[in-house]
Amino acid sequence: MNMNRTLRIAVAGIYHETNTFAPGLTGIDSFQGEWIEGREAFLRNYQGTRTSMGGVIEAAQRHGAELLPGCYAAATPSGMVRAEAADELIDAVVDSIDDSADGLVLIMHGAMVSQQYPDLEGECLRRLRNRLGRNFPVAMTLDLHANISPTMVELADVIVGYDTYPHVDIFERAVEAFDILVRIVRGEVRPVRAYKHSGMLVVPQGMMTEEGSMKELMDCAFAMEELSGVLNVTVAGGFPYSDVPDAGMSFVVTADGDRELAERCVNELAELAWKRRDSFNVPYLEPRDAIREALSEPQGPVILSEGSDNVGGGGPGDATHLLAHMTDLPVKSLIVIRDPDAVREAFAVGIGGTFAMDVGGKTDDLHGRPVAVRGTVRLLFDGRYRYVGPYMTGKHADMGRTAVVECGNLTVELTEKRVGPYDLGHVLYAGLWPEDFHIIVVKSAIAWQAAFGKFARRVINVDSPGCCSANLRHFEYRQVRRPVYPLELT
């Protein structure tokens, strides 16, 4: 190609982490809150943000490339995507790619499942190839919790996965994907890929990348990326709450024309992961015992990680297994609960009014029963805020109408929409400060650390029923490829 010609790079994607054990189905309406089409809307929403989309924008500017944004849609993690929604989303992305583009950055999660597509990312790539051809350069970014399939590896020229959990490098990984794509378009590199599944299901609590075996794997991957000929090494922890054949930890190595090098690296990573398999398991306590342990700590905040109701993994955000034991504690405590009915009541009584209602536990029986809460409404607001921490800095967020109710030592933040504790803004904008509380309940496995990590004096993982439980033996797997550790202890 003419090396002096301005490159035209398309960007599009669909982003959803699907929990097949979560209640209900996910329809097209769940994606309407972040359905962006066209250049102007894309720039308006993402320029200057530390998101994947923001990374693509900045990388295009660095390369002097013309960016051709197509359709990008995202939804909060939830249950299986409806069949008609899946086809509408894929068609929207495929049809949105500009015919004049030299290449595509495809932003996906890697664990999206619909009623008819256990590997929705693979299906999206298949349709893109049908339209654009096999030689059209495609770089795909994926979440660290991707369940990577052989189809994805076959149909994307390069896969670039996040290197951190909590995910604080998504901007950088998008820039990396863009950089590699430019080299592919210009004919400077010829990517070949090797893929290996670990044979393991790993819970999110075992994937923190700053410590333990996950750090060891990442350090090994980073060392491999320094080797001549290696373009990228992706370590995907996987998402164990998608019951699909390819669920679990896997590895992809992309090399410049050297398939043997890629195979050697990917096998080394898989062998290391299997050797360390027992270390990915995490200890946890039942709710009553977890609270007892938290109360024994002389100083807080103590984080109670209620991973079974992990909003970032598809949990409903209204589990009450901990709340049921928190209404009469001797220390100041904070919990966020999604309950639109309770929010409506709080707005009805107004600031300073008395709130008395059964809260939470309204999605299904698995996540607990409603708990009687009585207190004073201290704050009401529209629930809109911007991320202020290291994760997706500047991103707009919307909890729906939000109310803060004080019930003695217990503070309950009630939201209309599910909100994950990815950023301090979700409590800061509600007039709350972490160090004012001895106990903070987070509906999260690890991602809460981007918001509360620097405040936490101790962390206790809680084992309670829920669609994101750290105890995988709570689930009946039907589709995952067997044998798989730890379901079979081999």
pLDDT tens profile 341-365 = 999 999 999 999 999 999 999 999 8
User: Is 391 part of a structural domain of the chain?
Assistant: yes
Confidence of residue 489 (pLDDT cuts 50, 70, 90): confident
CATH number for 197: 3.40.50.2300
Chain-centroid distance of CA 481 in Å reads 23
Q: Average pLDDT in the 394-408 region? A: 96
User: Is 226 part of a structural domain of the chain?
Assistant: yes
Whether 490 has a pLDDT exceeding 60, the answer reads no
At 473 the pLDDT is 85
CB 161 within 8 A of CB 141: yes
What digits encode the pLDDT tens for the residues 440-471? Answer: 999 999 889 999 999 999 999 998 989 999 88
Percent of the chain exceeding pLDDT 70 equals 99
Check whether residue 224 and residue 354 sit in a common domain.
no
User: Is 474 part of a structural domain of the chain?
Assistant: no
Of 281 and 123, the one with more pLDDT: 123
At 113 the pLDDT is 98
At 463 the pLDDT is 87
User: Is 483 part of a structural domain of the chain?
Assistant: no
Question: Structurally, how many domains does the chain consist of?
Answer: 2
User: Is 412 part of a structural domain of the chain?
Assistant: yes
Give the residue numbers spanning the domain of 27.
8-280
Whether 57 has a pLDDT exceeding 70, the answer reads yes
Interstrand relation of 396-398 and 384-386 (parallel, antiparallel or unpaired): antiparallel
User: Is 142 part of a structural domain of the chain?
Assistant: yes
At 487 the pLDDT is 94
Check whether residue 276 and residue 232 sit in a common domain.
yes
Check whether residue 374 and residue 444 sit in a common domain.
yes
At 84 the pLDDT is 98
395/42 Cα distance (integer angstroms): 13
Check whether residue 45 and residue 24 sit in a common domain.
yes
Check whether residue 253 and residue 299 sit in a common domain.
no
261/226 Cα distance (integer angstroms): 13
Q: Which of 280, 301, 335 is the last residue of a domain?
A: 280
Q: Which of 261, 280, 299 is the last residue of a domain?
A: 280
Check whether residue 215 and residue 337 sit in a common domain.
no
Check whether residue 293 and residue 400 sit in a common domain.
yes
Q: What is the mean pLDDT of the chain?
A: 96
Check whether residue 38 and residue 143 sit in a common domain.
yes
Confidence of residue 474 (pLDDT cuts 50, 70, 90): confident
Q: Which residues pair with 159 in a beta bridge?
A: 140
Range scoring the smallest mean pLDDT among 63-67, 68-72, 426-430, 470-474: 470-474
At 316 the pLDDT is 95
User: Is 486 part of a structural domain of the chain?
Assistant: no
Q: Which of 280, 306, 335 is the last residue of a domain?
A: 280
Whether 2 has a pLDDT exceeding 80, the answer reads no
Residue showing tokens 């998504």: 170
Whether 203 has a pLDDT exceeding 60, the answer reads yes
Q: Which residues contact 279 (CB under 8 A, 6 or more apart)?
A: 206, 212, 213
In 399-469, beta strands by DSSP E: 402-407, 410-415, 439-442, 458-461
Q: Fill in the DSSP letter of residue 408.
A: T
Q: Average pLDDT in the 87-95 region? A: 98
User: Is 54 part of a structural domain of the chain?
Assistant: yes
What digits encode the pLDDT tens for the residues 65-85? Answer: 999 999 999 999 999 999 999
At 391 the pLDDT is 87
Check whether residue 241 and residue 350 sit in a common domain.
no
**pTM (predicted TM-score):** 0.89
At 365 the pLDDT is 86
Check whether residue 306 and residue 161 sit in a common domain.
no
Q: Which two tokens stand for residue 392?
A: 């997706």
Q: Average pLDDT in the 414-438 region? A: 96
Check whether residue 341 and residue 440 sit in a common domain.
yes
CB 487 within 8 A of CB 472: yes
Whether 1 has a pLDDT exceeding 80, the answer reads no
Check whether residue 182 and residue 324 sit in a common domain.
no
Q: Average pLDDT in the 465-486 region? A: 93
Q: Which helix (H) or strand (E) holds 256?
A: strand 250-256
